[in-house]
Amino acid sequence: MSGKNEILIQVRDLQKHFGSGSIHALDGVSADIRRGEVVVVIGPSGSGKSTFLRSINRMNDLTEGVRVRGSLTFHSREIYGPDWDV
């Protein structure tokens, strides 16, 4: 699918844990971000806004003890898939 309604980033049941799992930073986040949309992430301090954005950009790849579950795709390719060249 291409054009204005094309889903560029699709998030399904994204969960992110730090450490031994005691810190549950994201729990069940789902969203579709379409071409041309402006997306605003708002919430109180500590609600996971930066963690969500860091997940899309894979900025926690080198952080020890981070576990990511769920699906996060860009142009229908799994961002955390083994064939993605970071």
Q: How far from 15 is each of 19, 21, 34, 36, CA to CA, in Å?
A: 13, 11, 21, 26
User: CB atoms < 10 A from the CB of 25, how many?
Assistant: 19
Cα angle: 74, vertex 77, 81; to 5 degrees: 115
Q: What is the per-residue pLDDT for 2?
A: 64
Q: What is the per-residue pLDDT for 21?
A: 63
- List, for residues 15-72, the tens digit of each pLDDT value: 999 887 678 889 999 999 999 999 999 999 989 999 999 999 988 888 888 888 999 9
Q: What is the per-residue pLDDT for 23?
A: 80
**Alpha helix (H) ranges present in 1-85?**
49-56
The answer to whether residue 1 scores a pLDDT higher than 60 is no
